């Protein structure tokens, strides 16, 4: 009887500890959300660049991904963007960004005040009176895994073709001026959903794609450097 009582006491203690830990986390999260609400009361619109004005900001979550969003406006047209990734200029009046869409949560799901539950919408090229969505104009572009970068006025990204759970991975280039897409095959494999994918980058006049310990280099006109 004593052993059983001791075991139950330990279980109660563990339960209390977990509840206290959860309460502390919730309290910190609630305090942060209240700070967001408070800051919104004093928010003032500001220029993001020469064409866009930020009219509101806040925090969003996409599953386990969290970040800051901004509601931007140009010519009385608004969009919600991933502020952490920013807005890149592709040329005069042409901009590149990741747009977000508010996710309608059920009553059973809790969204903290000052926070928006969202989904990634499109990597977008915005020009006056028109938007181009990369996942609609580029075959095998993945909004969550392509990790695009703007380099020298063009978009570089990872491109995927899936067959029988095996991915064929290529380096891609999208030229908005011509609407053309070029690609170079890199490798094939079974990719994990938790794969860490780095965006292509520009280094000493070379475009580089890094995947774990593998590296591929391209010239500014997107030719393979061996």
Q: Are both 95 and 154 inside the same structural domain?
A: no
> Above 50 in pLDDT, residue 198?
yes
Q: Are both 169 and 224 inside the same structural domain?
A: yes
Q: Are both 110 and 158 inside the same structural domain?
A: no
Domain closes at, from 101, 133, 165: 133
Domain closes at, from 133, 167, 183: 133
- Judge whether 19 lies within some domain: no
Task: Take residue 154 and report the two structure tokens written for it.
Answer: 């063009």
Q: Choose among 212, 103, 219, 99: nearest CA to 151.
A: 219
Q: Are both 155 and 122 inside the same structural domain?
A: no
| Residue numbers of the domain that contains 110 | 44-133
**Residues near 24 by beta carbon (within 8 Å), at least 6 away in sequence:** none
> Above 70 in pLDDT, residue 6?
no
Q: Are both 149 and 104 inside the same structural domain?
A: no
In tens, the pLDDT along 61-105 reads 877 778 889 999 999 899 999 999 999 998 889 999 999 998 765
Note the pLDDT of residue 135: 94
Question: What is the domain count for the chain?
Answer: 2
Instruction: Kindly report the pTM of this predicted structure.
Output: 0.76
Q: Are both 128 and 148 inside the same structural domain?
A: no
The proportion of the chain whose per-residue pLDDT surpasses 70, expressed as a percent, equals: 76
Domain closes at, from 115, 133, 151: 133
């Amino acid at each position: 009887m004593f052993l059983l009582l001791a075991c139950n006491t330990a279980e109660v203690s563990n339960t209390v500890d977990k509840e206290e830990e959860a309460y502390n986390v919730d309290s910190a999260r609630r305090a942060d959300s209240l700070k967001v609400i408070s800051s919104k009361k004093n928010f003032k619109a500001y220029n993001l660049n020469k064409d866009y004005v930020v009219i509101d900001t806040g925090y969003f979550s996409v599953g386990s991904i969290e970040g800051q969003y901004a509601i931007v406006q140009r010519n009385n047209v608004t969009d919600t963007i991933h502020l952490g990734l920013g807005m890149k200029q592709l040329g005069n009046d042409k901009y590149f960004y990741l747009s977000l869409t508010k996710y309608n949560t059920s009553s059973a799901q809790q969204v903290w005040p000052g926070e928006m539950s969202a989904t990634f919408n499109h990597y977008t090229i915005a020009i006056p009176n028109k938007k181009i969505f990369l996942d609609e104009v580029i075959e095998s572009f993945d909004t969550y895994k392509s990790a695009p970068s703007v380099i020298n006025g063009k978009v570089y990204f990872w491109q995927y073709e899936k067959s029988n759970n095996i991915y064929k991975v290529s380096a891609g280039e999208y030229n908005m001026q011509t609407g053309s897409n070029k690609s170079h095959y890199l490798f094939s494999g079974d990719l994990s959903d938790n794969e860490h994918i780095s965006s292509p980058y520009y280094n000493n006049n070379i475009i580089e794609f890094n995947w774990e310990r593998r590296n591929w280099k391209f010239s500014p006109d997107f030719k393979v450097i061996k």
